[in-house]
Structure 1
Amino acid sequence: MKEIRVKKDTLLPQLKKARLFRHLPDEAIEKLIECSRFVEYDPQEILIREHAVEQDVYVILSGACSVMVHQEGGDAYVATLGAGQVVGEAAIFSNMPRIATVLAQDTVRLMCFERTAFLKVLQDDPRSGMKVLFMIVHNLMMKLREVNLELAFERRDDGGQAEVDQLIESLIPAAGAVGLTPQQ
């Protein structure tokens, strides 16, 4: 990871396209830009490490990131996030450990802000703050919805015990059905 310089005059129009900032006045976005760092990650470099406790939130300016969750057999792919999307936004609400690892798929440029600086800007403009927090909650709800749909899909593919019993019965009939008797 390295800090980068960005042209602020081209950044404002780019950020206005991001869902998080879409409803904010330019002055509020400019304040957020002022309290932010701008960073670049190389391909396969980790932005967020699962289980780490951090307070940084990222807006992807360019590139794509993979979201992965560690499981017994290795890492499981969750999603790909791209320009305009937010990563790590749950850190605004708690000091809980991160629930996933996020790594750069290619060269990724990000706007990074820390929770306390971000909340200070939102407190200075409560109307804009409410809009941003509403969008963050909406993003989190959409991510939760996607996970719930994925879980429902996977559970639908899991066979129930009755299906397993029926399969076994069709392959290996009960002892009395084919004239088999227990040995004496």
Structure 2
Amino acid sequence: MNRAFVITGGPGGGKTTLLDALAQQGVRVAPEAARRIIRTRLGQGLPPRPEPAAFAREILASDMEQYRVAQAHDGVTFFDRGVPDALYMLDQACAITREEVAALVRRFPYNNTVFLLPPWEDIYGTDAERDQSFEQAVEVFQGMSRWYTQWGYRTVEVPRVSVANRIAFIQKITGPDSTRAGFAGVDL
């Protein structure tokens, strides 16, 4: 079983909070590259994002490296977005061919189940790293859902419930085998 799980969706769905809670429980997580890149750029006095294709390429390089690192470990890893997210950005910028996307999707496979967190208006907010409107967040969420489905993944929408209930929902879907392999010794 592929133990690399993607948690994705639009901004403002609670992905980072959920992944932080998983990490606090001892589960391996791979953080989102975009926020790190934006923080670094802001710290250098640069605009938050370079042009879209360059931003997507930087995210892709980081996501591919995180994937490689995770593959060196046993157990489950949850990714705050995956390689296909960066490929979607490149596709939207008309900066990659479908053949290139297909090759990278094959080269960096994740578990067939991808968890989608919908934007949640009650918790949505903007900051220096998230400047999209709620409507843009909904568009990204819908795009991610279509994109992952197009590349053969089964998307599962995580309900808008407490973090503990989201973890329980994900654990139920990942099943007892992944629980033993990746949540071993973790009280969820």
Which TM bucket (shorter chain)? under 0.3
Higher helix share: 2
Kindly name which structure, 1 or 2, has the bigger radius of gyration based on alpha carbons: 1
- Normalised to the residue count of structure 2, the TM-score between the two structures is 0.27
- Normalised to the residue count of structure 1, the TM-score between the two structures is 0.27
Higher strand share: 1
